[in-house]
């Protein structure tokens, strides 16, 4: 089974919830963890990973380059680039390699043959390790300024699937990126179940609603966890949303300073402070996950 | 002039800093705030305003006129996204979810009228008047759409058209090319981070991006009493980035966040931090 954990918004504690759930499920179930937040991966930090067993470079991004020697400075490329990536800098037309999407339009419209070339560059790396807890973890890191992070996530999941086959692993737990863009779509695509994590703030509600629309698009069953649940008792928005959409709330985790402390210690809170309020709530959630989702 | 507020990971308090800084900076500049975190735009929520002046962002999508198409396959060959597949006889078909709207296919098609203009709505931009004497420009990606870049580009164009003395840009998390697009043309980057190993890792990446883009970077440490600051200091030093403010963990900030009432307006020590920072920025920007 493939479970994707998503939140829409960053900072609501999705990764720390994911790390704790993975920690609690690892004993009874064979699983592989996939960190699909290629922009800011952090599961490896939360699991205290010190070295990677295997790394793969993912080539795939393309970047346009202008040969300033042969360029006649007509400016057509700059005018036609759909994303305003070409500018006249000190008298020469230059592609901003950190914003180029690699679509190739500039090359097509350039009147002089061969001035603009599209070059393949690395979009990032994906890497694998076996955590000290025994289960494998796959993580990605997008290179600075590169597009196409969805592709990294797709590659990660392919790799995870191969490992699952080879090692007879049953479950994949994907910690998806914040937002609703290509990385999140790649994370949710193909999942059997989505677990949404939100906190009781208007911003988090707005974002979890947005990611839920993506979940609906894939017709996946969704569950909701309310993190920092006692932060804002007057705020009922999350309950109303869950009620309206028929999304089961599988747990509420109180705000607990043990959580940031455990993160600083590079451990899931359920391991670092098993008796904390947050850990108790997380253990209850893990039981619900076992009964209702993994069965 | 433009300055940007960014931070590696989501949830470090980037939007809180952006919104409060915008309010603190209005005394120095005629400004606009642009929320370019198009996947999860929240500045309007923090400011307690409803988005206004909606404009659609439509993306080009080829539509084939099969009575004119000569099945030469050129469109499929040129498409970097492999969004066009061809049948055995060369008849092209579009896979809409892969198309990025770049128009490369339209440009290479040798037959006028074989590729027609199709459009797909992928998001919106907004210009919202705030009660704080500045306008908020927001880009918002439609749910289910993957391509953030055209929304960021469109929102940035719209923000520029306001012709303000200062544009304050709030970027998405991370360091992908949509973040670079948001940062582009900034004179200063304010990187918001937390003193945790996660914060550290992400701060290094965003400072690296600033270095590659030749943008002066300053660091704001949020929840500064939470962990070890030495790591942050080291990275800041390595990138020549000055640590300009420290915001201790604060219940008052969380409450203001929840209520949509910016903390800088309250009579509090947190407010002073933002006011001092605004003054420092104003001096730097000249
Ligand atoms: S490849 Fe596309 S995005 Fe890059 S510079 Fe050329 S036209 Fe612009
Ligand atoms: S279109 Fe070609 S020749 Fe014209 S400015 Fe661009 S690179 Fe130079
Ligand atoms: S617009 Fe660009 S991405 Fe879309 S089909 Fe044409 S070439 Fe491919
Ligand atoms: S390039 Fe134009 S004529 Fe050729 S297959 Fe595509 S649509 Fe048809």
Residues B190-228 have pLDDT tens digits of 999 988 877 888 899 999 999 999 999 999 998 887 777
Q: Taking all residues of chain A, what is their mean pLDDT, rounded to a whole number?
A: 91
Q: How would you classify the pairing of strands B2-6 and A92-95?
A: unpaired
- Chain B hits for A219, Cβ within 8 Å: none
Q: Looking at CA atoms only, how far is residue A167 from chain B in angstroms?
A: 31
Q: Among candidates A216, A185, A243, which has minimal Cα distance to B141? A: A185
Ligand 2 pocket residues where CB is under 6 Å = A 66, 71-77, 93, 110, 112, 115-116
Q: Place A85 in a pLDDT band, splitting at 50, 70 and 90.
A: very high
C-beta separation of B122 from B109 below 8 A: no
By most ligand atoms within 8 Å of CB, the mutation choice from B105, B107, B115 for ligand 3 is B105
What DSSP designation does B263 have? G
Yes or no, beta carbons of B144 and A217 under 8 Å apart: yes
Yes or no, beta carbons of B176 and A213 under 8 Å apart: no
C-beta separation of B62 from B29 below 8 A: no
Closest Cβ opposite residue A103 in set B100, B173, B228:
B100
**Cα dihedral across residues A197, A198, A203, A209: positive or negative:** positive
Using CA coordinates, name the residue in chain A closest to B178: A99
Q: Place B168 in a pLDDT band, splitting at 50, 70 and 90.
A: very high
C-beta separation of A53 from A129 below 8 A: yes
Other beta carbons within 10 Å of A270: 24
- Identify the residue whose tokens are 């403010």: B245
Helices (H), chain A: 14-25, 43-46, 76-80, 105-109, 149-167, 182-188, 202-217, 237-245, 258-264, 269-272, 277-288
Angle at alpha carbon of residue B248, lines to A175 and B43, rounded to 5°: 60
DSSP-assigned beta bridge partners for residue A193: A3
- Both tokens of residue B114? 């074989």
Please give the number of the atom of ligand 1 that sits closest to the Cα of A104.
1
C-beta separation of A102 from B147 below 8 A: no
* Arithmetic mean of pLDDT, B131-159: 92
| A110 touching B (Cβ < 8 Å) | no
Ligand 3 pocket residues where CB is under 6 Å = B 60, 62, 78-79, 81, 83-84, 94, 99-105
Q: Among candidates B157, B181, B175, B168, which has minimal Cα distance to A96? A: B181
- CA B247 centroid distance within chain: 23
Yes or no, beta carbons of A9 and B11 under 8 Å apart: yes
pLDDT at position A10 is 72
Q: Looking at CA atoms only, how far is residue A265 from chain B in angstroms?
A: 9
Burial profile A97-135: b = 16 or more Cβ within 10 angstroms, e = fewer: bbbbbbbbbbbbbbeeeebbebeebebbbbbbbebeeeb
Number of the ligand closest to the Cα of B112: 4
A110 within ligand 1 shell (Cβ under 6 A): no
Q: What would the pLDDT profile of A116-171 be if each residue is shown by its tens digit?
A: 999 999 989 999 999 999 999 999 998 888 876 678 898 999 999 999 999 999 99
- Chain A hits for B13, Cβ within 8 Å: 11
Tell me which CATH code domain B2-57+124-285 carries: 3.40.50.300
Q: What would the pLDDT profile of B34-53 be if each residue is shown by its tens digit?
A: 999 998 898 998 898 999 99
- CA A42 centroid distance within chain: 10
* E strand residue ranges, B79-187: 84-86, 92-94, 115-129, 135-141, 166-170
Pick the CATH number of B62-117 from 3.40.50.360, 3.40.50.720, 3.30.70.20, 1.10.1030.10: 3.30.70.20
Q: Among candidates B104, B109, B107, which has minimal Cα distance to B80? A: B104
Residue B144 — φ and ψ, nearest 5°? 95, -15
What is the spatial distance between Cα B245 and Cα B97, in angstroms, rounded to a whole number? 44
- Both tokens of residue A281? 């709530």
Q: Whose CA is nearest to atom 7 of ligand 2?
A: A71
- Both tokens of residue B284? 């730097």
* Arithmetic mean of pLDDT, B160-166: 94
What is the spatial distance between Cα A180 and Cα A4, in angstroms, rounded to a whole number? 13
What is the spatial distance between Cα B220 and Cα B222, in angstroms, rounded to a whole number? 6
Residue in B101, B172, B177, B251 to test binding to A, most A beta-carbons within 10 Å: B177
C-beta separation of A95 from A87 below 8 A: no
Share of chain A above pLDDT 90, in %: 64
What pTM was estimated for this model as a whole? 0.82
Closest Cβ opposite residue A105 in set B107, B147, B175:
B107
Other beta carbons within 10 Å of A251: 24
C-beta separation of B109 from B75 below 8 A: yes
Instruction: Establish, for the pair of chains A and B, how many residue pairs have beta carbons separated by less than 8 Å.
Output: 183
Q: Looking at CA atoms only, how far is residue B281 from chain A in angstroms?
A: 26
Share of chain A above pLDDT 70, in %: 99
Q: Among candidates A38, A15, A273, A263, which has minimal Cα distance to B195? A: A263
Q: Whose CA is nearest to atom 6 of ligand 3?
A: B105
Domain ranges in chain B? Answer: 2-57+124-285, 62-117
Distances (CA, A) of A221 to A215, A288, B33: 8, 15, 38
C-beta separation of B25 from B31 below 8 A: yes
């Amino acid at each position: 089974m493939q479970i994707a954990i998503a939140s829409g918004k960053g900072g609501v504690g999705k990764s720390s919830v994911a790390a704790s759930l993975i920690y609690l499920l690892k004993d009874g179930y064979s699983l592989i963890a996939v960190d699909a937040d290629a922009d800011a991966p952090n599961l490896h930090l939360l699991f205290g990973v010190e070295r990677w067993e295997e790394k793969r470079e993912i080539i795939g991004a393309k970047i346009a380059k202008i040969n300033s020697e042969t360029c006649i400075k007509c400016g057509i490329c700059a005018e036609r680039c759909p994303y305003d990536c070409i500018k006249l800098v000190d008298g020469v037309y230059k592609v901003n390699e950190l914003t180029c999407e690699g679509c190739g339009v500039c090359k097509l419209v350039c009147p002089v043959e061969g001035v603009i070339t599209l070059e393949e560059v690395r979009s990032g790396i994906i890497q694998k390790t076996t955590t000290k807890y025994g289960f494998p973890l796959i993580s990605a890191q997008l290179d600075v300024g590169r597009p196409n992070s969805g592709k990294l996530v797709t590659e990660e999941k392919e790799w995870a699937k191969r490992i699952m086959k080879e090692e007879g692993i049953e479950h994949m737990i994907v910690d998806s990126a914040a937002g609703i863009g290509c990385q999140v779509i790649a994370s949710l695509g193909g999942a059997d179940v989505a677990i949404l994590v939100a906190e009781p703030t208007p911003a988090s509600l707005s974002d979890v609603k947005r990611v839920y629309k993506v979940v609906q698009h894939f017709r996946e069953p969704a569950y909701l966890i309310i993190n920092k649940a006692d932060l804002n008792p007057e705020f009922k928005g999350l309950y109303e949303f869950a009620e309206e959409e028929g999304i089961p709330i599988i747990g509420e985790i109180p705000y607990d300073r043990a959580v940031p402390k455990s993160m600083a210690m590079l451990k899931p809170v359920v391991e670092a402070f098993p008796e904390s309020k947050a850990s108790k709530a997380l253990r209850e959630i893990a039981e619900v996950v076992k009964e209702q989702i993994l069965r | 002039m433009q300055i940007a507020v960014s931070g590696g990971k989501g949830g470090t308090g980037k939007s809180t800093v952006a919104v409060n800084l915008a309010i603190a900076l209005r005394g120095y500049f005629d400004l606009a705030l642009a929320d370019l975190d198009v996947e999860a735009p929240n500045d309007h929520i923090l400011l307690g305003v409803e988005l206004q002046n909606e404009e659609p962002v439509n993306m080009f999508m080829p539509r084939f006129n099969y009575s004119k198409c000569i099945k030469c396959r050129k469109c499929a060959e040129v498409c970097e996204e492999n969004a066009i597949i061809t049948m055995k006889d060369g008849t092209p078909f579009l896979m809409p979810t892969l198309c990025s709207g770049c128009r490369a296919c339209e440009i290479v098609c040798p037959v006028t009228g074989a590729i027609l203009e199709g459009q797909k709505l992928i998001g919106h931009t907004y210009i919202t008047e705030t009660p704080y004497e500045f306008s908020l420009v927001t880009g918002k990606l439609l749910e289910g759409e993957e391509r953030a870049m055209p929304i960021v580009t469109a929102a940035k164009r719209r923000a520029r058209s306001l012709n303000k003395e200062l544009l304050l840009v709030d970027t998405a998390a991370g360091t992908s090319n949509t973040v670079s697009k948001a940062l582009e043309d900034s004179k200063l980057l304010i990187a918001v981070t937390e003193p945790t190993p996660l914060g550290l890792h992400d701060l290094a990446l965003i400072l690296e991006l600033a270095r590659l883009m030749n943008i002066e970077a300053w660091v704001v440490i949020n929840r500064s009493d939470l962990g070890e600051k030495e790591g942050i200091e080291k990275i800041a030093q390595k990138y020549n980035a000055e640590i300009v403010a420290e915001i201790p963990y604060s219940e008052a900030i969380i409450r203001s966040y929840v209520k949509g009432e910016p903390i800088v307006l309250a009579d509090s020590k947190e407010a002073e931090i933002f006011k001092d920072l605004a003054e420092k920025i104003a001096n730097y920007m000249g």
